[in-house]
Structure 1
Amino acid sequence: MSEKIKYEMEFPIHASPALLYQYISTPSGMQEWYADNVNSRGENFTFIWEGSEEEAILYGKKKGELIRFQWLEDEGTDYYFEMRIQVDEITKDVSIMVTDFAEDDEVEEGKLLWENMISNLKQILGSV
Structure 2
Amino acid sequence: MERKKVHLEYLLNATSKSILWSAISTPTGLEGWFADKVDSDDRTVTFYWGKTEKRSAEIIAMRSYSFIRFRWLDNESPREYFELKMTNSELTNDFVLEITDFAAADEVGDLRELWESQVETLRRTCGF
Q: Same fold (TM over 0.5)?
A: yes
How far residue 76 of structure 1 moved from its aligned partner, in angstroms, is 5.2
Alignment size in residue pairs: 126
Q: Residue 95 of structure 2 corresponds to which residue in structure 1?
A: 94
The letter for the 1-side match of 2:107 is E
- State the superposition RMSD in angstroms: 1.2
The answer to whether the aligner puts 1:52 opposite 2:53 as a matched pair is yes
Q: Residue 68 of structure 2 corresponds to which residue in structure 1?
A: 67
Deviations 1:78-117 (Å, cap 9, x if unpaired)? 1000011010234322110000001111111111000000
Equivalents in 2 of 1:3, 1:69: separation in Å?
A: 21
Q: Residue 30 of structure 2 corresponds to which residue in structure 1?
A: 30
Equivalents in 2 of 1:29, 1:126: separation in Å?
A: 13
* Structure 1 gap ranges (5+): none
CA contact (8 A) 1:17 1:65 kept: no
Equivalents in 2 of 1:105, 1:62: separation in Å?
A: 32
CA contact (8 A) 1:44 1:57 kept: yes
SS of alignment partner, residue 86 of structure 2: strand
* Structure 2 gap ranges (5+): none
Equivalents in 1 of 2:78, 2:103: separation in Å?
A: 13
The answer to whether the aligner puts 1:126 opposite 2:127 as a matched pair is yes
Q: Residue 84 of structure 1 corresponds to which residue in structure 2?
A: 85
Identity fraction in percent: 35
Equivalents in 2 of 1:28, 1:94: separation in Å?
A: 20
Runs of 4 or more consecutive aligned structure 1 residues displaced over 3 Å after TM superposition: none
Equivalents in 1 of 2:3, 2:90: separation in Å?
A: 33
